Amino acid sequence: MKDHEVIKNYRNNDALRRSFNRLAGDTFGLDFEDWYQNGYWSDAYNPYSIVIDGQVAANVSVNRMDFVCPRGAGEGAFFRQKTGQMDIRHFIQLGTVMTREKYRGQGLSRRIMEEIFRDWEKKVDGFFLFANDGVVDFYPRFGFRMQEEVLHTGAVSTNRETAMARVPMEDKRAFDRLERIVRKSCAQSAFSLTGNSGLIMFYLTKFMRENVYYGKEPDAFAVAQIEDRRLLLYDIFSENPVEPGRVIEAFGREIREVVMGFTPVDTTGFTAGKVQEEDTTLFVKGKGFKDFSRLGVRIPLLAYA
C-alpha cells in the first residue's frame, strides 16, 4: 500500500469496516455496524480513509445526496410540488471527519480532501459540511464559505385532540410500513432530501426510535420531539404531499409552538429567522448553492451526516 494512499469503497471489507467503526466510536461514540448489517449502508455513503498498518488512521466520508425543490418559491410553490414541477440538485456532504490522535497534524485530512475533489468536483453541483468551532479556519482553504440558513417557527392554536400516535418500532409490521413510506415518500419540503432512505433509517433505528409518529389524518408519518408544549418537527413522510399545518395540528391542543427542522414549501403563517446551532457552522462550495440564500431554506435536520 502506497504511503498515504486513500482507500475507499471498502464497506464490505470486514477488517477495514471494523477499524473504521472503532475510530468512529473513539471520536464520536458512533458505531455503523448495525446500519451495515441491516442493509442500510449503501454506496451513497463512502468513507475515504488513509490506512496505516492495517488500521484506519484518518477519514472523511462522502455522502452523495440529491435534493429537490419546487421551481420557484413563494406563491404557487405547493401547487408546483403537487404537480411534480421540481428541480433536482446533486451534492456531496462531507462528514465523519476524524483522525486518530497520534496521526493528527500530519496533513492526512488535506490529502483525503484533495482526493475527494478530484473524484467529484466535476460530477456534482456542490459540496457542503457542518463544522465545529475548532476547525472553521480549515475549510475556507478548500474554497468553502460560511452559509446562513433560514429557520421557520410558528405559533400553534388548535382545539383538536391528539391524533398522532407514537409508532412502536419493535412492531415489525409497523416498522416495515414506515420503512416502505420513507423509501417512497414524495418531497415534503422546499429543499428535500430524496433517494437516500439509508440516512433516514440511520436516525430512525438509532437516536430517534422514540420520535416516530403516525396519524390517520393526515395519513402521514412524522419525526418529532415534544418538550414544554413546543414541537420540533424534523420531517414528514407520506406518499402524497401533506401541508405541514395539518400534521402540526394533529399533535393536538397541548402544542403551542412549532420549530421546523426543514423548510415548508408554503411558509405562510411561519416566522423566518436565522438557524443558530451551537458549535455548528454550515460551509458550502459550488454552483448549486449560488441561490441558497434567495430560496430562504435550510438543510433538513435528518440530512445531517
Domain boundaries, the chain: 6-148+277-303, 151-274
Q: For the chain, how many residues are written?
A: 305
Decide whether 6-148+277-303 matches 151-274 in CATH topology: yes
Please tell me the predicted confidence (pLDDT) of residue 78.
Answer: 42
Q: What are phi and psi of 124, to 5 degrees?
A: -130, 170
Q: Scanning the structure block, which residue is given the C-alpha cell 474554497? A: 143
Cell numbers for 248: 402540526
Domain 6-148+277-303 matching CATH 3.40.630.30: the answer reads yes
151-274, CATH topology level: Aminopeptidase (3.40.630)
Burial 225-247 (b: 16+ CB within 10 A, else e): ebeeeebbbbbbbbeebbbbbeb
Cβ atoms 58, 84 nearer than 8 A: no
What whole-number distance in Å separates Cα of residue 25 and Cα of residue 293?
A: 35
Helical H segments across the chain, by residue range: 14-28, 33-37, 77-82, 108-120, 172-184, 197-204, 244-250, 292-295
209 SS3 class: coil
Give the pLDDT of the chain (305 residues) as one tens digit per residue: 456 789 999 999 999 999 999 999 999 999 999 999 999 999 999 999 999 999 999 999 999 999 997 555 444 444 444 445 668 999 999 999 999 999 999 999 999 999 999 999 999 999 999 999 999 999 999 999 999 999 999 999 999 999 999 999 999 999 999 999 999 998 889 999 999 999 999 999 999 999 999 999 999 999 999 999 999 999 999 999 899 999 999 999 999 999 999 999 889 999 999 999 999 999 999 999 998 998 899 999 999 99
Using alpha carbons, select from 267, 246, 96, 126 the residue that is nearest to residue 189.
267
Q: Angle at the Cα of 92 (from 300 to 4), degrees rounded to 5?
A: 135
Cβ atoms 96, 28 nearer than 8 A: yes
Cell numbers for 185: 415518500
Q: E-assigned strands of the chain?
A: 6-7, 45-52, 55-70, 86-99, 126-131, 145-146, 150-155, 165-166, 192-194, 212-215, 220-227, 230-237, 257-260, 271-274, 281-285
